[in-house]
Structure 1
Amino acid sequence: MNVGHILSVKGSEVYTLDAKATLAETVSVLAERRIGAIVLVDGRGGVAGIISERDIVRVLAKSGAEVLDKPVGEAMTVKVKTCGLETPIDDLLATMTKGRFRHLPVVENGRLVGLVSIGDIVKNKIEQAERDAEKMREYIAAG
């Protein structure tokens, strides 16, 4: 199973913003869309950065509410780990666990094509376990 499979099930829509958007605008989009992270894109459709709810909480704690008027580009993570459509799910899980982040942009040919969350991976793992259990039940019943 790979990242492409997850995106084929959940879809590849990604909410993005330009790095010039303010943190207040970013917070508004996160709340409105009920999402945990937003990918910031460059003019070519590539990943310029990512910002999560956790990133915003940290910058607010450090700098106060006035930071909400600053461009999101000042608070985003710029060294973004990404994956491709062919990345195996177990590799993706290891990368996210090691890096302690919950969202990973999916990039193909330098362009953003999707976003995978830890919730997507957990859902996939549960579905796989259920399929395996059903196969085992069928095997036992046929025996």
Structure 2
Amino acid sequence: MTVAHILKGKGSEVVTLRPEVTLSEVVQVLAEKRIGAIVLVDDGGRVAGIVSERDVVRVLARSGPVVLEKPIGEAMTVKVKTCTTMTPIEEVLTTMTHGRFRHLPVVEDGRLAGIISIGDVVKMKIEEAEREAREMREYIAAG
């Protein structure tokens, strides 16, 4: 299974902001949309960075509330790990586990095409295990 299978089920809509916004604006959108990360994109739709709830907590602990009115650049990750729609789910799981992050932007032709979360991957793996177990029971019952 690939990332395309996940996006087919959940869709490719991604909440994005421009890299010039303030941390306060990012926090507001995270809360409003009830999401854990926001991808920051440039004029061409290319990933410029990502900021997660963890990033917000870390920068607030380090710099205090004054950082809320500063550009998001102080909190965002600029070397963003990404995947494509053809990336196998196992590879995504390994990347997320080793990188210790929960969100992975999907990029096609240099542009943002979606985002997947560790929850999306776990859900897919559970569905796959349940399907395999069902097929095994059916095979045994038919024998």
Identity across the alignment (%): 71
- 1:140 positional shift: 1.0
Alpha-carbon distance between aligned partners in 1 of 2:36 and 2:12, rounded to the nearest angstrom: 16
1:72-83 to 2 correspondence within 5 Å?
A: 72-83=72-83
- 1:93 positional shift: 0.4
**Residue in structure 1 matched with residue 60 of structure 2 by the alignment:** 60
- 5+ residue gaps, structure 1, are none
Return the TM-score normalized by structure 2: 0.99
Runs ≥4 residues deviating over 3 A: none
RMSD: 0.5
Alpha-carbon distance between aligned partners in 1 of 2:101 and 2:139, rounded to the nearest angstrom: 38
**Residue in structure 2 matched with residue 141 of structure 1 by the alignment:** 141
- 1:74 positional shift: 2.3
Report the secondary structure of 1:12's partner residue. Answer: coil
**Residue in structure 2 matched with residue 38 of structure 1 by the alignment:** 38
Give the aligned length: 143
Letter in 2 for 1:125: K
Q: Are the aligned partners of 2:59 and 2:74 in contact in 1 as well (CA < 8 Å)?
A: no
- 1:75 positional shift: 1.4
Q: Are the aligned partners of 2:2 and 2:87 in contact in 1 as well (CA < 8 Å)?
A: yes
**Residue in structure 1 matched with residue 103 of structure 2 by the alignment:** 103
